[in-house]
Amino acid sequence: MKTRRHFLTGLSTAVAATWTQSLRAAPDPKKDIIVGHGAHRYKVIKDWVAPGQGRHHPILNCHEMVQVKDGRLFMIGDHWDHQMLVYQPDGTIVESWGGVWPGGHGLTLSDENGAEFLFVTDSGLWKSGSGGFRQTGRVTKIDLTGKEIFSLSHPMSVGAYEPEMFFNPTETAIAPNGDIYVVDGYGSNYVLRYDARGKFISRFGGKEGVPEQERLNNAHGIAIDLRAGVEKATVLVTSRADHCFRRFTLAGQYLETLPVPGCMVCRPVISGQELYAGVCWSKDPVLNKQPGNPSGFTVILDAQGKVISAPGGSEPVYEEGKLKPLTRAEPVIDHGHDVCVLDSGDLIVCQWNAFQTYPIKLEKV
């Protein structure tokens, strides 16, 4: 009886390599849940973080995650004593710290001539027990040990806001020249621009007093899009309640809208030529009537703004050039809040309001 080894010996090297690779990639339908579409399909690994680590590294909600050069993954959350969790790529939690960002929400990595820094966004919205609180938000630059470098000034102190305007920022993005862009997604929905030293430059966007097609309605996330080159860099801003991303010049001039119908998307994450985003809610009337409002998945858009995959969601279908509304298809992701794309193409998905569970991994197949 021939073994697999004997059988491979009789094949050409190229054929054998291809056949072996297909064996490794083939999912077991009885054990594996596969989500996604086209070239972006993933095996769901719910236990990326092994059980038992919560005793020393508790969490409430997972908000955003970035990966630094040495491979570690930093994640911001809103636990009162463990707002920053640091992971190894295998899901092992290395450390957790931080008690000064009760509304921990946004986390952005900045590389400054080889030195890495983090911009932490505290939205100012947080919970304690059964109570919810709103206070002024804050954006802080720290090093990888947690040492504070500086905090950005409140927009009212630089003449950008009036006293009655809320400031509850949700995210930052760093331009190639070091300029800092802050979205006030839970406050007044403006984009605030500062220079690399934290000096205020300008604001743009907003929800009121602007044309509907370019308004920011729950400006939840922001990213600098460099896919067309540094000279053609643009700003992508989430308008979550309008189910889309808005594109602006670096100076704040509106350019276009990337619609994602049915999806209340979070921040845009650009990796390679694709744009990834967590979907916190889908506008599915059936799901939204169920207890606990189960909702959420992820979306992947190509360089032209077309949705090419929706892991955990329905298959993207275009009719006459328009995307049909997406909905949740698999009970895999609860309120997808952020996507961290690894070099391997695997995804780590942070979830909000997901029963105090850690991020899950989507392993590319």
Averaged pLDDT, 298-326: 97
Q: What's the pLDDT tens digit per position in 100-112?
A: 999 999 999 999 9
Asked whether residue 10 falls in the same domain as residue 111, the answer is: no
Same-domain check for residues 37 and 25: no
pLDDT digits (tens, 9 = 90+) for 137-178: 999 999 999 999 999 999 999 999 999 999 999 999 999 999
Are 90 and 224 contained in the same domain? yes
pLDDT at residue 28 is higher than 90: no
The pLDDT tens digits for 213-238 are 999 999 999 999 999 999 999 999 99
Could you tell me the pTM of the whole model?
Answer: 0.90
d(CA 93, CA 20): 33
Interacting residues of 158 by C-beta distance below 8 A, sequence separation 6+: 200
What does DSSP assign to residue 327? -
Same domain, residue pair 23 and 157: no
Name which of 218, 153, 163, 224 is nearest 192 in CA terms: 153
Stretch 83-102: mean pLDDT: 97
Same domain, 261 and 312: yes
Tokens of 15: 């054929």
CATH for 338? 2.120.10.30
Same domain, 148 and 190: yes
Q: In terms of domains, do 285 and 211 share one?
A: yes
* Residue among 305, 306, 317, 312 at smallest CA distance from 287: 312
Q: Between 24 and 144, whose confidence is greater?
A: 144
Q: Which residues contact 90 (CB under 8 A, 6 or more apart)?
A: none
pLDDT band, very low/low/confident/very high, at 18 (cuts 50, 70, 90): very low
Domain containing 14 equals 1-31
The token pair that represents 119 in the structure block = 């911009």
Contact 347, 73 (CB under 8 A): no
Reference 93, options 45, 147, 62, 52; nearest CA is 52
State whether 59 and 70 are in the same domain. Answer: yes
* Pair 335, 221 in one domain: yes
The domain tally of the chain equals 2
Question: Quick check: 357 pLDDT over 60?
Answer: yes
Same domain, 23 and 113: no
Considering the domain architecture, whether residues 53 and 91 belong to the same structural domain is answered as: yes
Say what the pLDDT of residue 336 is.
97
What percent of the chain clears pLDDT 90, i.e. is strictly above it? 84
Clarify whether residues 331 and 306 are in a common domain.
yes
Q: Which two tokens stand for residue 131?
A: 């109570």
Looking at residue 31, what is its pLDDT? 67
